[in-house]
Structure 1
Amino acid sequence: MKIAIPLTGTRGDVQPVVALGVELRRRGHEVLIGAPPNLVDFVTGAGLDARACGPDIQQLYSSEQGQKALAAGNTLRLMQMVAQQMSGYAEQMNSEVIDVCAGAELIVSSTVTEDRASSVAEAMGVAQVSMHYYPCRYNSAYPFPGALPAHWTPPAMVNRATWVFAENLRRVVFMRYLNDLRAKLGLPKSFESTAGVLARRGVPEVQIYDPALVPGLPEQWDERRPFTGFLTLDHATREAVGDLAGDHASILSWIDEGEAPVFFGFGSMPIKDTAAVLAMADKVSARFGVRALVSAGWSDLDAANAQVGSHVKVVGPFAYDRVFPRCRAAVHHGGIGTLFESLRAGLPTLVCSVSFEQPMWGGQVARLGVGEHMRFTQLTEQRLADGVATLLTPEIRTRAEEFAKTLSTADACARTADIIEAAAG
């Protein structure tokens, strides 16, 4: 079967889909992934076919404007910037999604491409499956991510109201671009929301995060929204894309020389003042007499020449599942991939969220009692110290270890591939 997967976003959006693509290819399917131009090589490195699709959002985040918005924690401004970028790219994006999907017998979409993919699938008369990286459909258990402060626990009526507002806002904002696409495909105009279209067509919406992170939500949704857990790359693919190329022997050797360290890192988020964040990690870890493993993968920081105490090791990118089990706690931005790895390792976790759905995940970490949450803009040495102090308590450590046992151990890629094959049938 020929399967097309149009995507856009950062590596955090693309990597889980690459893991799925590898599983689908192993089953004999022909897979083509539409990836942002800066990630085409990453996809082809995994042995999958790829074409450029969508703008380079990572470049937008790394721009001066993007860095200012990230530094200010201004999610609204970031969303406006992404919307402006997508607006200018809309016509080309329409053409690229059509090109990626040409000849496909089934289309797999993501949270941000499901609107365009639904029109293309309708025009082609083929099945569609959408994948969601976080809760992004109407429910009464949780509000729309970012609509309300993460520490609030609103009543069901308020939660439902945020979804009605968000889904209608998305419908209005993107209606013109989608109807341009529909005209190009020879389809009539539509004023229906994407959520409504997918529900009417019975499109499966696979939740590629763990149900343990969102208690109360699975009970509100039917079999059209199955939970599979996070999609991870297999060992051979990780070697192929360079995921295991880091100096793990040096990192593990340093860890084994003393007590388990606290991890500090911010994934693919381009942090503006990396020196200040590094200095905080250095001082706070020294205050508590713990060692710190700091990932410089999120910055242009010179790991080899970083000015830190002997209790700190600054490293480049590494495989979290090799290192996190030997750590004591984790401090990071709350991206779902990093969050999954820290919680799977049983680490008390402090989420310093930057934007988008990260505050929601941070709020869940605190609500579940396995760590703490603060916005990155609130990060000071004292607040970081307070958060780390909480992570180091035996009670939090015990809760984090117990929570790790509730995470799914099933093969998420295999389960998702099963759903896709069933949808095609």
Structure 2
Amino acid sequence: MRIAIPLTGTRGDVHPIVALGLELRRRGHDVLIGAPPNLVEFVTAAGLEARACGPDVQQLYSSEEGQRALATGNTLRLMQLVAKQMSGYARQMNREVIEVCAGADLIVASTVTEDRASSVAEAMGVPLVVVHYFPIRANSAYPFPGSLPPRWNPPAAINRATWTLAENLRRVVFARYLNDLRYMLGLKKSFASPAATLARTDVTEIQIYDPVLVPGLREQWDERRPFTGFLTLDHDTRAAVGDLAGDHDGILSWIDEGEPPVFFGFGSMPIRDAGAVLAMVDEVSARLGVRALVSAGWSDLDTGTARAGAQVKIVGPFAHDTVFPRCAAAVHHGGIGTLFESLRAGLPTLVCSVSFEQPLWGAQVERLGLGAHLPFTKLTSARLEQKLAPLLTAERRTRVAEFARTLRTEGTTDYAADLIEAAAK
């Protein structure tokens, strides 16, 4: 079976889908991934066929306009920014999704490409499966990510109202571009939301995050939305894409020289003033009497020239599952991949969310007693110290270690591949 997977977004969006694509290829299927142009090399290094699809979102976030939007911490503002980028790229994106899906027997789409992929699948008469990295369908347990302050615990009716608003906003903003695509495909116009379209055609929507992070959600959805847990790359693939190329011996030697450090890193989120953030980490770690392991991957920091106190080590790429178990706690942006790794290692976690689904995960970490949440826009030395200090206790570490044992860490990719094969029958 030939399987096409059109994607767009950052590496965090592509990483788990590469794991899924490799498992599908291992089962004998031909897999083509449409990846953002800056991530095509990442996909091919993993051993999969790839073709450019969609804009370079990382470049957008790193632009002056993108940095201003990220600095607001406002999800709707970021949605407007992405919509503006897509308005100039829409027709090319339409063509690229069609090209990636040409000749496919089945299409797998993500949260961002499901609307286009559903029209292409309809025109081709082939099955469609979508994967979601966070809750993106209406429910009464949680509001639409970023629509309300994360600390709020609104009633069910308010939660559902946020979904109605968000789905209608998405439908209105992207309707013109999608109907341009439908015209190209010879289909009638449609003004239905992606959620309504996929529900009408009974499309399987695989949730590639762990249900224990969102208690009560699985009970609200039927078997059309199965949960697999996070999809991870195997050791050989991680080596091939460079994830294991860091100075692990140097990092581990430094860790072993003293007490377990606190990890600080912000994934693929570009930060406007990396030097100021490093100074904040330096100050707070000194005041708390802890060592700090700082990942420079999220910034333009030069690991060779950046300066901080003796209790701080600045490092390049490394394997989370090798280093995290030796740490005392973690501070990061709350992307689901990094969150999975910090919780799997039993680390009390402070989520400094930037936008999109990250505030949701920050709120859940706090509600579940696994850590704390501090929006990046509110980050100061005083607040960082206030949020981090309570996480550095044996009691909190025990609580997170107990939770870690409930996470799904085995067979997640196999299960997702099973669901995709079942959709083709």
- The Cα offsets for residues 253-295 of structure 1, whole Å up to 9 and x where unpaired, read as 1111111000000000110111111111111111111111000
Partner of 1:89: 89
Letter paired with 2:293: L
Return the alpha-carbon distance in structure 1 between the equivalents of residues 155 and 76 of structure 2.
Answer: 24
Partner of 2:380: 380
How large is the RMSD of aligned CA atoms in angstroms? Answer: 0.8
Q: Does 1:108 align with 2:79?
A: no
- The Cα offsets for residues 310-359 of structure 1, whole Å up to 9 and x where unpaired, read as 11100011111111010000000001110000011110000000111100
Alignment of 1:119-198 (within 5 A): 119-198=119-198
Q: Secondary structure at the match of 2:352?
A: strand
Letter paired with 2:230: F
* Residue 173 (structure 1) shift: 1.2
Partner of 2:208: 208
Q: Secondary structure at the match of 2:323?
A: helix
Q: Secondary structure at the match of 1:259?
A: coil
Return the alpha-carbon distance in structure 1 between the equivalents of residues 356 and 98 of structure 2.
Answer: 27
* Residue 95 (structure 1) shift: 0.3
Return the alpha-carbon distance in structure 2 between the equivalents of residues 144 and 356 of structure 1.
Answer: 10
- TM-score, normalising length: structure 1: 0.99
Partner of 1:277: 277
Partner of 1:225: 225
**Percent of aligned pairs with the same amino acid:** 76
* Residue 78 (structure 1) shift: 2.1
Q: Secondary structure at the match of 1:421?
A: helix
- The Cα offsets for residues 362-415 of structure 1, whole Å up to 9 and x where unpaired, read as 000001011000110100000000111011123322211111111113311110
Partner of 2:53: 53
* Residue 175 (structure 1) shift: 1.0
Q: Does 1:18 align with 2:40?
A: no
Letter paired with 1:114: E
- TM-score, normalising length: structure 2: 0.99
Partner of 2:250: 250
Q: Secondary structure at the match of 1:109?
A: strand
* Residue 164 (structure 1) shift: 1.1
Q: Secondary structure at the match of 1:83?
A: helix
Cα 1:72–1:147, aligned 2, differ >3 Å: closer, same or farther? closer
- The Cα offsets for residues 112-165 of structure 1, whole Å up to 9 and x where unpaired, read as 000000000000000010000000001111011011011111111111111111
Letter paired with 1:362: G
CA contact (8 A) 2:69 2:81 kept: no
* Residue 23 (structure 1) shift: 0.6
Runs of 4+, deviation exceeding 3 Å: none
Q: Secondary structure at the match of 1:303?
A: coil
Letter paired with 1:80: Q
CA contact (8 A) 2:83 2:173 kept: no
Letter paired with 2:87: S
- The Cα offsets for residues 52-93 of structure 1, whole Å up to 9 and x where unpaired, read as 000001001111121222233243332211110011100000
Return the alpha-carbon distance in structure 2 between the equivalents of residues 60 and 390 of structure 1.
Answer: 36
Return the alpha-carbon distance in structure 1 between the equivalents of residues 358 and 191 of structure 2.
Answer: 30
Return the alpha-carbon distance in structure 2 between the equivalents of residues 286 and 248 of structure 1.
Answer: 24
Alignment of 1:26-45 (within 5 A): 26-45=26-45
Return the alpha-carbon distance in structure 1 between the equivalents of residues 372 and 98 of structure 2.
Answer: 43
Letter paired with 2:47: G
Return the alpha-carbon distance in structure 1 between the equivalents of residues 383 and 325 of structure 2.
Answer: 25
Letter paired with 1:282: D
Aligned residues: 425
Letter paired with 1:254: W
Return the alpha-carbon distance in structure 1 between the equivalents of residues 376 and 193 of structure 2.
Answer: 33
- The Cα offsets for residues 185-211 of structure 1, whole Å up to 9 and x where unpaired, read as 011111211111111111100000000
Partner of 1:421: 421
